Amino acid sequence: MKRKPKIRYFVQSFFFVLIALIAVSHGLSETGGGIAFVPEASLHAVCPLGGVVSIDTLITGGSFVKKTHESSLVLMYIVFASALVLGPLFCGWICPFGSFQEALGRIGKRLFKKKFNRFIPYRFDRWLRYLRYLVLVWVLFMTARSGQLIFAGVDPYFALFQFWTGEVAIGGFIVLGATTILSLFVERPFCKYACPYGAVLGIFNLFRLVPLKRNSATCISCKKCSKVCPMNIEVDSAGTVRNHQCISCYQCTSGDGVCPVPSTLEFHTGGIKEVKDED
């Protein structure tokens, strides 16, 4: 059967190209150039993490952290609102650095086949996933203490789109290089283990209004949903998936996803719709 085109890939590509154009336009504008019809905003101004790290300075001093902008706060509110309803759609559909890691992951899948994304034993992986919360605490604490955008010095997202400007710190290049290599072995390594904004949005999975639900009555235990999950979530053994690592990518769902049985894995509110085969 011919596979349907993945709309998520088109959305990811659109935002990746958009951010790349904004980054280039901003860089050119500093020398008197720029790209027509493309805003000259800095990458920090279009990153919702800037709103999160500015909360303390806004409350205590009424100002934003240096290099951030009011637009970061607006984007933060929009992303938070969507995460409250549908979970971390930003991570799975919009974040250009997440898309970059996925693209490298497709190369890794060709190289390592079934071994890809299975190199780290679960007994280690389950604890490594909480590292991003330590990174989040460090970023919030250091930013509040210094009033500076501390994470910019090691931000691989900034390094990816600004490597040609001379503004990237050595730490950013190191993290970008490590993420690039690891993405050939592990799906979305930075998202899983180090992204502070992913850590924030992951919390919304615990109480999101439209969670992923599995209909045990129609589930045939093929485990395809768990195998395709980029975040290694054991979807096939859950009733309602509220894992903090879910990125709402919809790859495991019935219909356009890999689940072969209709109405078995779906994002919706209320009780699961019981659909049973008739003899």
Where along the chain do its domains lie?
Answer: 7-205, 210-279
At 55-109, the pLDDT tens digits run 777 777 777 777 777 888 889 999 999 999 999 999 999 999 999 999 999 999 9
226: which 2 tokens?
A: 């768990």
Q: Please give the pLDDT value at position 256.
A: 59
Tokens of 145: 């203490």
User: What's the pLDDT at 92?
Assistant: 95
Q: Between 96-112 and 7-29, two packed helices, what is the crossing angle to 10 degrees?
A: 120
- Residue 17, φ and ψ in degrees, nearest 5: -65, -40
Which helix (H) or strand (E) segment holds residue 266: the answer is strand 265-267
> 3-18, pLDDT tens digit by residue?
445 789 999 999 999 9
Contact between 230 and 188 (Cβ < 8 Å):
yes
Alpha helices, DSSP H, located in the chain = 7-29, 49-53, 55-61, 70-86, 89, 96-112, 122-128, 131-146, 156-162, 170-182, 189-193, 196-203, 224-228
pLDDT (0 to 100) of residue 38 = 67
Comparing CA positions, the residue from 196, 186, 267 lying closest to residue 225 is 267
Q: How far apart are CA 259 and CA 251, in angstroms?
A: 9
Please write the tens of the pLDDT for every residue from 205-241. Answer: 999 999 989 988 899 989 999 999 999 999 998 889 8
In the predicted model, is pLDDT for residue 2 greater than 50? no
Counting residues of the chain whose pLDDT is more than 90, the rounded percentage is 54
The single-letter DSSP state of residue 254 is B
| Average pLDDT, integer, range 46-52 | 82
Answer for the pair 187, 125: CB distance below 8 angstroms, yes or no. Answer: no
Judge contact between 82 and 89, C-beta under 8 A: yes
Q: Give the three-class secondary structure for 73.
A: helix
pLDDT digits (tens, 9 = 90+) for 98-153: 999 999 999 999 999 999 999 999 889 989 999 999 999 999 999 888 888 888 89
pLDDT at position 58? 73
* pLDDT on residue 32: 66
Return the biggest CA–CA distance within the chain: 72
pLDDT (0 to 100) of residue 80 = 95
